Structure 1
Amino acid sequence: MLVLGLTGNIGCGKSSLSNIFREDYNIDIIDADIISRHIFEDEILLSQVFKYFGDSIKNTDGSLNRKALGNIVFNNDAKLVQLNSLTHPKIKEQILAKVELARREEKEIVIIDAALLVEGGYLDLLDKLLVVYCNKDVQIERVMKRDSCSKEEALSRINSQLSQEDKISYGDYIIDNSGTYEELKKRAYEFVDYVKENWCE
């Protein structure tokens, strides 16, 4: 089974590419974003996050205010590191379990979709890494539109991640998503064709 990593920075279209692989090619996707949302159902982890970040990230019903937490960690590298130290072990544990399930089900390929594959120490789990990137101005516009935020807020979120250039240096295959969705679909088709010819037995 080929374990393929899919990564890319905020606003570069990683989720769009992941959806194309799932919907058009029926490839199994392990989505770290979905896992990261569900891990806060763990009351012990949630209490640790509240203890460190305080009541300002708590909704009136006691649940996590994700936007408030995001505003804190995207503007403070030390607090982002702290959040990751709390959440990443739980996320990695679930990703490993899902990879093992796909292996037992004898899947030909499984994709781990995560923004922090490089930074989070996942490279040793992967056979190959696909990196999606885009033009910086396009990235800023997409983040502003998606998150309804200012240019300064968008740049803060972008700058909290490893640079696109550094991330690309780890990739076995690179896709430029500076254009339209249709162009991305075409590049996805070319990539799947490449995988079947070069990486799958």
Structure 2
Amino acid sequence: MLVLGLTGNIGCGKSSLSNIFIKNNISIIDADIISRQIFEDKLILKQVFDTFGESIKNDDGTLNRKLLGEIVFNDDDKLIKLNKLTHPIIREKILSKIHEASIKGEEIVVLDAALLIEGNFLELVDKILVITCDEAVQIERIKNRDNSSKEQALSRIKSQMIQEEKSKYGDYIIDNSGTLIELEEKANKFIKYMKENWCG
């Protein structure tokens, strides 16, 4: 089974690309969904509140992810602290899902993870696909999606590894500065390439 790591920075269209894979009957392990689900664990939640304070707690006792995001995206040390708390659990859940896909006899499984490189998840994948786009396009997408200002969008972008650096890890790069139709064409070309060259 081929484990493909899909990564790319915020606003580059990773989710859109994942949806195209799903349409092509390729299974996705979404690290972002896993990272949300782990906060349903009361022990993890307590550790996060103890580390970052009660201000990030909603009235019903759940985590206010937006407020936590604002704290960690503007402070590298706090981001490192959060990652140290969450990454080991996320890794464990990802490995479990890869194992499930293998048992099912899947030919390809995609690990969709924005922090594939930064989170030290590289050893979990066989090949890496990086999706990129022009920064101006990236900013507009973040503003429209999150109803945020240009400054907030730039803050999110700057909290991540720069695209040029991330691209160095890629076995294949897709530029998604254009339309969804163009992305679909590039994705279909990539899927054909992947099956011909990487699948055994």
TM-score over 0.5 for the pair:
yes
Structure 2: runs of 5+ lacking an equivalent: none
Q: Distance in 2 between matches of 1:35 and 1:124?
A: 18
Q: Deviations over 1:117-154 (max 9, x none)?
A: 01111111111000000001000111111111111111
- For 1:4, give the aligned amino acid: L
Aligned to 1:20: 20
Distance 1:6 1:20 in 2: 13
In the alignment, residue 92 of structure 1 is paired with which amino acid? R
Mapped partners of 1:16, 1:152: distance in 2: 24
In structure 2, C-alpha distance between the alignment counterparts of 1:69 and 1:19, rounded to whole Å: 27
* Equivalent residue, structure 1, for 2:87: 88
Name the % identity. 65
**1:194 pairs with 2:193:** yes
Alignment-derived partner of residue 3 in structure 1: 3
After TM superposition, what 4+ stretches of structure 1 lie above 6 angstroms from structure 2? none
Which residue number in structure 2 is paired with residue 51 of structure 1? 50
Match of 1:79 in 2: 78
The alpha-carbon deviation at position 17 of structure 1 amounts to 0.2
CA distance in 1, matches of 2:71, 2:122: 28
AA aligned opposite 1:57: I
What is the TM-score normalised by the length of structure 2? 0.99
Residue 66 of structure 1, CA deviation: 0.8
Distance (whole Å) between structure 1 residues aligned to residue 176 and residue 135 of structure 2: 11
Instruction: Give the AA of the match of 2:97.
Output: K
Alignment correspondent of 2:162: 163
Counterpart of 1:173? 172
How far apart, in 1, do the equivalents of 2:100 and 2:182 lie? 33
Distance 2:127 2:105 in 1: 18
Q: Give the number of aligned pairs.
A: 200
Structure 1 portions without partners, runs of 5+? none
| Paired AA for residue 21 in structure 2 | F
TM-score relative to the length of structure 1: 0.98
Letter of the aligned partner of 1:192 in structure 2? I
